Structure 1
């Protein structure tokens, strides 16, 4: 909080004559105190989706979960995790995480692991098919993901489709 004080040194003619009669010097006749906020405006996270993925119906038939690149995981997930959890995942051990589907409000307990033969990471669980099957997928959809630091959950939402997402 910043306080600004403004002094008004110009007196009215009557006040000036009265001060002369009493032998007073020119002084501050009025002060104005203005309080203001010196903090910069806070950024509103209106579009928090750090990771965006396009998914088609064919992807669902061949995948057991959602694949994420090493870059996506390191830049947007690992920065929020403890070293122990990161180490377990990198060594190929699956760790349980919570996912919250923001479209339905449904929470899922899933496993996050690394493919042993590649640099891809995988989120395994029934949430992946539920996310899209419940919406009668007819074309490619885009989902968004971000890690919520407060609740320590991965938040997911269907952001849109290339054509018609729902029948």
Structure 2
């Protein structure tokens, strides 16, 4: 299977990330839900800048806004900010192993949480729950397996035998 044959992987991973974001969780765990879509967009911006950039981040954000019923453009803004920062530092990030990249991803997702909190305050919405500030840590811990899985599928190394 050539790389061209795996063009389905980007849209499939985005849709899977949205589905993972929609899956119900117990009320106690809900604030800890990682921002799956941000992890997937981050992967594609880092690994395939020719296919993923600000446009993909914006489109994924609008799709997520529709799927999650959030304010139109909120997640689009958050993902575009993240993608912009990733594009700026992509050359440096690519050469770190995934477990070290996880620290940068954690920082980006903390920045995303701050943007979310500012938007909630500006719009007069309820504040972000305190436990939700730990979600970037959960996502940071999930970055290496997400990265390795997507990388193996993109490169065709996920089959054995």
TM-score, reference length from structure 2: 0.32
Q: Which has the higher helix share?
A: 2
TM-score, reference length from structure 1: 0.31
Q: Which has the larger radius of gyration?
A: 1
**Greater RCO (CA < 8 Å, at least 6 residues apart):** 2
Q: Which has the higher strand share?
A: 1
